[in-house]
Structure 1
Amino acid sequence: MGESSQTPPFILYLGEEAYTEELRRLALWVNHLLIPVYGRETRSQAPWCPRWWEHLEAVARLHALWLTWQELTDPAAGASGPALWHRDHLDPTMAELRDPAGPFGGCKAGAHRAKEAPVVEEYEG
């Protein structure tokens, strides 16, 4: 699914219109490949949010996973590309996303809950 020889920009660097289009494309991959193949059952020890796109950390991690999937499943990556993707990218990313303290930590099966970000004060140097 590598669509060009030029590396696409990371989703968090995109303007609003480009972000929306990239998120649409990411959602197709997440909903039609990632979750059907790798989306194990949701439980409190491995949460998943049905509205994952509302968790910016999840969007960033899933986009990075998708970019590496495009690169490492391309025939140019060689026969070991998919194995490297599973070991080095899929497994750690899914472990982080589905960790009870991860971005979906407050979400339950079939239910979204927005997470409170830590309070940050401005640096006044």
Structure 2
Amino acid sequence: MVDESQSRPQEQGPSDGADAEPPAPRFILYLDGVEYQSELFRLAQWTHHVLLPVYGREVTSSAPWCSRWWEHQEAVAQLHGLWLAWAELTGPYAETTGPASWHRDFLGPVLGALRDPSGPFAGCKPGSHRSKVVPPVEPLVPPPAA
């Protein structure tokens, strides 16, 4: 059984009118410092204790995974979005079709992108992490002042 307090971001439910609803969770790429680290830790708890034990398949050259996934910003962003969708679609206020929608619309596409041989873990092997090389970018000249 999953401990919902560790596995889900802040969920929203009906308000009793006395208290305002808590703000929706913010996407992790908008956070920094302690706020980012706290959210990353909570994401890691869900990833390590819910996602991977249930949906983590064997690591192969055609389906790579990095044991230091949190060092890949694309993986952090993708997994955080997956976690937020999980909370919305499987939480106590979700409709009964929520889990099926989560599997169809979110889980498959995200894991497919992350575990693609040319995805963010392409250079990683079990026990070996390789940082991604950022593609070169030409400078953009700002438009002339109006």
- Give the TM-score category using the shorter length: over 0.9
Cα 1:4–1:78 change in 2 (3 A) is: closer
Q: Which residue is equivalent to 1:13?
A: 30
Post-superposition shift, 1:2?
5.3
**What TM-score, normalized by structure 2, do the two folds share?**
0.82
Q: Which residue is equivalent to 2:3?
A: none
1:3 aligns with 2:10: yes
**What TM-score, normalized by structure 1, do the two folds share?**
0.95
Q: Which residue is equivalent to 1:36?
A: 53
Structure 1 gap segments, 5+ residues each? none
Q: Which residue is equivalent to 1:102?
A: 119
- SS of the residue corresponding to residue 114 of structure 1 reads coil
Q: Identify the structure with the greater helix proportion.
A: 1
Post-superposition shift, 1:54?
0.2
> What's the RMSD between the two structures over aligned residues?
1.1
> Structure 1 stretches (4+) deviating beyond 4 angstroms?
none
The structure whose Rg is larger is 2
Percent sequence identity is: 58
Query: C-alpha deviations, 1:13-68, integer Å up to 9, x for none?
Result: 01221001000000000011101110000000000000000000000000000000
Q: Which residue is equivalent to 1:87?
A: 104
Query: C-alpha deviations, 1:95-123, integer Å up to 9, x for none?
Result: 00000110001111232111101011221
Q: Which residue is equivalent to 1:23?
A: 40
